[in-house]
Amino acid sequence: MTAVWKDSRVSGIATTRINPRWIDEESPRVVIDDIAARPSLHPHIITFANEKGGVGKSTLAFHVAIALAHAGARVVAIDLDRRQRTLERGLTYRNGTASNLGIALPTPQFGVLDHPSTAAIYQTINRLGADADFVILDAAGADSPVFRRVVALADTLVTPVNASFLDLELLGRVNPISGVPEHTGCFGQTVSELREEKFSREMGRIEWVVVKNRVRASEKRHINRVDDALERLAISHDFRIGQGLSERVAFRELFQFGLTHLDLPLIPDMIRPQASSPDEVAALIEDLGLKIEPRASLPLPTRPAARVLKRTRTDFRAALNAAV
Ligand SMILES: Nc1ncnc2c1ncn2[C@@H]1O[C@H](COP(=O)(O)OP(=O)(O)OP(=O)(O)O)[C@@H](O)[C@H]1O
Ligand SMILES: [Mg+2]
């Protein structure tokens, strides 16, 4: 079957042409065929994806992975951005911090996909924990055949957006005068097609949650207008809206140590976090609507303190306190 779509953007007259995006490996049918041909995966898959770069996919993936580990779930986190490796780096720093301080921190099993392919995704999940409760997939911020497969694999798809109409247009354009959604954006179209194809084959529903990130209280009037547009798009594109994280320097600072605000109470003699930061992460988990069944018997990894000078440990703590 030839895929066609309507385009009236240029002349206002609807024209029909071949959708250039529906080719070979990227066609929704081929993407879903690829997944259907493989054994089904046990863990709940949470994919963080948006074709827009720099919106906070890795930051949110990192926080959600750690929050789920704190909640007692068994979590696997896979970084699909083999160049930036943000998620992998954050979790590596986390192990370094635990070791430097001689403390135990709930930490996901993690890895990076050096050679992205569907087979590699399945192999990595099976190697790191086929029996995990959750697999977190942090996609790179650009369309590709592998990008489409990790979107298609999602039970829950999380798309962070900044409060910018420019970002929203990748989901869809809302007419600024009438407030009516007019065009589906490139990422919105990809998600719609994959959801439809997956659902029609009775392979489950992709629950799509669009989460605002880096929200600044000072931009209230602008945010209200972005919220209105997002609500319109939520109806036309069938996604839920998550409140997301506000703009906080501490989210960036703590990354150097692989920590989140949820970890600070586990560190002896640490400054206590502002209550609202852990609350935001808890609200984010709530908005994702995940079913978390804590594994009571799950032991925290014991990490013997690294052999470091007392002075080094004191300096480490001082730098950490300065970051909170
Ligand atoms: N809530 C937040 N508060 C403050 N800074 C944030 C927040 N979320 C993300 N950032 C910062 O924004 C930048 C981009 O974030 P991040 O790397 O998570 O985005 P990304 O979508 O994964 O980017 P890419 O598309 O390049 O993979 C980083 O400098 C990060 O520290
Ligand atoms: Mg990233």
Name the residue ranges covered by the structural domains of the chain: 14-323
What three-state secondary structure class fits 228? helix
Q: How confident is the model at residue 23 (pLDDT cuts 50, 70, 90)?
A: low
CA distance 101 to 268: 9
Q: How many CB atoms lie within 10 A of CB 121?
A: 23
pLDDT in tens, 57-80: 999 999 999 999 999 999 999 999
Beta carbons within 8 Å of 187's beta carbon, 6+ residues apart? 49, 50, 51, 52, 143, 159, 170, 171
CB of 260 shorter than 6 A to ligand 1: no
Distance 58 CA to ligand 1 centre (A): 7
| Residue of 55, 59, 144 to mutate, ligand 1, most atoms within 8 A of C-beta | 59
Q: Quick one: pLDDT at residue 19? A: 53
Distance 39 CA to ligand 1 centre (A): 34
Average pLDDT (218-242) is 91
Distance of CA 54 from the midpoint of ligand 1 (Å): 5
CATH number, domain 14-323: 3.40.50.300
Decide if pLDDT at 5 tops 90: no
| Residue 274 pLDDT grade (very low, low, confident, very high; cuts 50, 70, 90) | low
Is the model's pLDDT at 122 over the cut of 90? Answer: yes
Which pTM does this prediction carry? 0.89
Q: How confident is the model at residue 297 (pLDDT cuts 50, 70, 90)?
A: low
Whether residue 22 has pLDDT greater than 70: no
Q: Which of 30, 12, 34, 13 is nearest to 21 (CA)?
A: 30
Ranges of H-type helices in the chain: 28-36, 57-70, 86-101, 118-129, 145-153, 165-168, 186-200, 220-237, 249-255, 276-288, 310-323
Q: What is the pLDDT of residue 78?
A: 98
Mean pLDDT of 185-204: 97
pLDDT of residue 277: 77
Decide: 58 in ligand 1 pocket, CB within 6 A. Answer: yes
